[in-house]
Structure 1
Amino acid sequence: MTEVFINKASGKVAAQKPLYRGGGGMQETTLHISSFEENYANVMATVDMVRQHKSDAPIILTVSPVALAWTFQGADVVTANTEGRSVLRAVLGQACRERENVHYLPSFEFVTYGGLTRSYEEGLAARNEVGRRRHR
């Protein structure tokens, strides 16, 4: 999530608004929309931590397909959801390009664009047809 809340005293970050489901802390936190750079640094630090303990482990990254139910930033929830997912998807794409054995699982795309069949099989069928024509 790019929409997070930061505790003013401790600097700790939470992904849920204070008072959510009866919790407390509304006055102690502030809304923060995390940037590409912040998320990139966090993802790369996580990849580096995994690599310290298991240097050859494949790492699979994904963007959650679960849409925001609401937003606290004063924007339309669909707009806020799209922006946040776009930032996170760009971060993960960059991480996969820069690090070996780091891969992206397109769970967000499967849900958003109609599943594996709609997202990939049509493109795969077209690519296979082009390949068949080249080899005739």
Structure 2
Amino acid sequence: MERWLEQREAGPDERARVIAYLTENLALDDARFAEAFTADKRQLSGWGNDRIEQALRRRGIRSDLIGSALEQPGDGTEVDRAARLLAEKRVELGDDRGRSRALGMLARRGYSAEDAYAAIRRAGPDH
């Protein structure tokens, strides 16, 4: 928010007043933002924890708030979410090429290699 205000040539006092007002009225709450962002990206975009963490870091969210947001209960484990994503996308896992494509897709979405392999094994060739 501070960068946005600075780009619009707001002075330091004005930036401080705006940020104080928004914080007092709960419009600026990094913890709430991190939790909502995490839930949204998990449910709507199928992102894994690694990608969510990177995105929150780029937005300047503190590490402790990111950790808390990622620990929030979601739709099962990372492996559960990755396996569901494979099923939704109907990725063919019957040969090495299909498994390689699945691994790449899950890696791009921010799933760790360990979780991606576990999801591929769980989904199996006949998912």
TM-score, scaled to structure 1: 0.32
Q: Which has the higher strand share?
A: 1
Comparing both structures, which one devotes a greater share of its residues to helix? 2
TM-score (norm 2): 0.34
